[in-house]
């Protein structure tokens, strides 16, 4: 099993550009989440999904969109990148809400 | 909504000494509690978790944590620290479908 994979590993954007961060898992997990990690702030939940076709907002959803068309994939879309979105983004998945979350290796995003 | 506080931003400990990392949470019921570790440039790895039952839980790498309902705490301990334990440690609280993380504690191990 590859576990949770994220692409790309690094990305530089200009303000106003859009892009999609990819996340995939091969563990047949129902729960998937996106977090951003900023120094001194821990991980903050952006969006999450409890199954295909079902998504909900987390703590910091503004400026981000998600969709969940399959169990395996949970892409995060930045609609119009802003410097405040410079961060490290982690995708995670788990079997259920009470189970351990498995994290991907992260995507380091810089917005100029 | 739940919240997590890790009071110590940075802890320095000598190799072989004991380590305790503090975690306090705010939630109306008994939450799911987790400790994760993150090595530099890496993702997060689960050390241990508490759902119910015995309030002292054992994890990987020799770590343990104790859930104290009266203090709303879930402190992480290790009796003897190794240099490889230098990392950032995150306490997390799960409630409903969401997981909330503390700001993290960075552990430095000196020889």
- Quote the CA–CA distance of B53 and B27 in Å, as a whole number: 18
Mean pLDDT estimate for chain B: 92
Which chain A residues contact residue B105 at CB under 8 A? none
Which of A112, A84, A96 lies closest to B32 in space, CA to CA?
A96
Q: CB B97 to CB A40 under 8 A?
A: no
Q: Strand, helix or coil at A72?
A: coil
The pLDDT score that the predictor gives to residue B18 is 98
- The 10s digit of each residue's pLDDT in B38-90 is 998 888 999 999 988 889 999 999 999 999 999 999 999 999 999 999 999 99
The pLDDT score that the predictor gives to residue A12 is 97
- Quote the CA–CA distance of B25 and B6 in Å, as a whole number: 9
Listed as own residue / partner, the contacts of A59-68 with beta carbons closer than 8 Å and 24 or more positions apart are: A59/B98, A59/B100, A60/A36, A64/A34, A66/A34, A68/A32
DSSP assignment letter at A101:
P
- Quote the CA–CA distance of B94 and B98 in Å, as a whole number: 6
Higher pLDDT: A39 or B68? It is B68
Which chain B residues contact residue A92 at CB under 8 A? 44
Least confident of A14-18, A98-102, B9-13, B100-104: A98-102
* B44 touching chain A per CB within 8 A: yes
Residue A85 backbone phi and psi in degrees, to 5: -95, 5
Q: CB A43 to CB B44 under 8 A?
A: yes
- What is the mean pLDDT of the segment spanning A101-112? 94
Which residues, other chains included, contact A31 with Cβ-Cβ below 8 Å and sequence gap of 6+? A48, A49, A50, A51, A93, A94, A95, A96, A97, A99, A101, B97
The pLDDT score that the predictor gives to residue A36 is 97
Top residue of A25, A31, A37 to mutate, by most chain B CBs within 10 Å, is A37
Residues above pLDDT 90, as percent of chain A: 88
- Quote the CA–CA distance of A14 and A73 in Å, as a whole number: 26
Under an 8 Å CB criterion, which residues of A touch B? 31, 33, 35, 40-45, 48, 50, 56, 58-59, 90, 92, 97-98, 100-101, 103-106
Q: CB A97 to CB B101 under 8 A?
A: no
The pLDDT score that the predictor gives to residue A62 is 96
The pLDDT score that the predictor gives to residue B1 is 74
pLDDT band at B36 (very low <50, low <70, confident <90, very high): very high
Instruction: Return the structure tokens found at B49.
Output: 């978790």
Cα Rg for chain A, rounded, in angstroms? 13
Q: CB B101 to CB A44 under 8 A?
A: yes
Residues above pLDDT 90, as percent of chain B: 74
Q: Strand, helix or coil at B83?
A: helix
The pLDDT score that the predictor gives to residue A81 is 96
The pLDDT score that the predictor gives to residue B41 is 81
Q: Strand, helix or coil at B22?
A: coil
Compute the nearest-CA separation of A55 from chain B (Å).
Answer: 11
- pLDDT reading at A11 higher than 90: yes
Q: CB A105 to CB B42 under 8 A?
A: yes
- The 10s digit of each residue's pLDDT in A59-90 is 999 999 999 999 999 999 999 999 999 999 99
Compute the nearest-CA separation of A104 from chain B (Å).
Answer: 6
Which of B37, B31, B48 lies closest to B93 in space, CA to CA?
B31
- Quote the CA–CA distance of A33 and B98 in Å, as a whole number: 9
- pLDDT reading at B97 higher than 80: no
Q: CB B97 to CB A104 under 8 A?
A: no
The pLDDT score that the predictor gives to residue A84 is 96
């Amino acid at each position: 099993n590859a576990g949770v994979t994220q692409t790309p590993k690094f990305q530089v954007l200009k303000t106003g550009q859009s892009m999609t961060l990819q996340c995939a898992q091969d563990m047949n997990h129902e729960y998937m989440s996106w977090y951003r990690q900023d120094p001194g702030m821990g991980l903050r939940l952006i969006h999450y999904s409890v199954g295909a076709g079902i998504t909900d907002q987390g703590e910091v959803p503004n400026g981000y969109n998600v969709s969940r068309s399959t169990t395996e994939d949970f892409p995060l879309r930045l609609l119009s990148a802003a410097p405040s979105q410079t961060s490290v983004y982690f995708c995670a998945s788990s079997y259920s809400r009470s189970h351990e979350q498995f994290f991907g290796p992260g995507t380091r995003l810089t917005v100029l | 909504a739940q919240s997590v506080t890790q009071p110590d931003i940075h802890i320095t400990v000598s190799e072989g000494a004991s380590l305790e990392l503090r975690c306090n949470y705010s939630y109306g019921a008994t939450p799911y509690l987790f400790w994760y570790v993150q090595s530099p440039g890496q993702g997060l790895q689960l050390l241990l978790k508490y759902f119910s039952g015995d309030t002292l839980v054992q994890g990987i790498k020799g770590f343990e944590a104790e859930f104290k309902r009266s203090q709303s705490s879930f402190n992480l301990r290790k009796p003897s620290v190794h240099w490889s334990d230098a990392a950032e440690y995150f306490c997390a609280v799960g409630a409903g479908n969401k997981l909330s993380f503390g700001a993290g504690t960075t552990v430095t191990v000196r020889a």
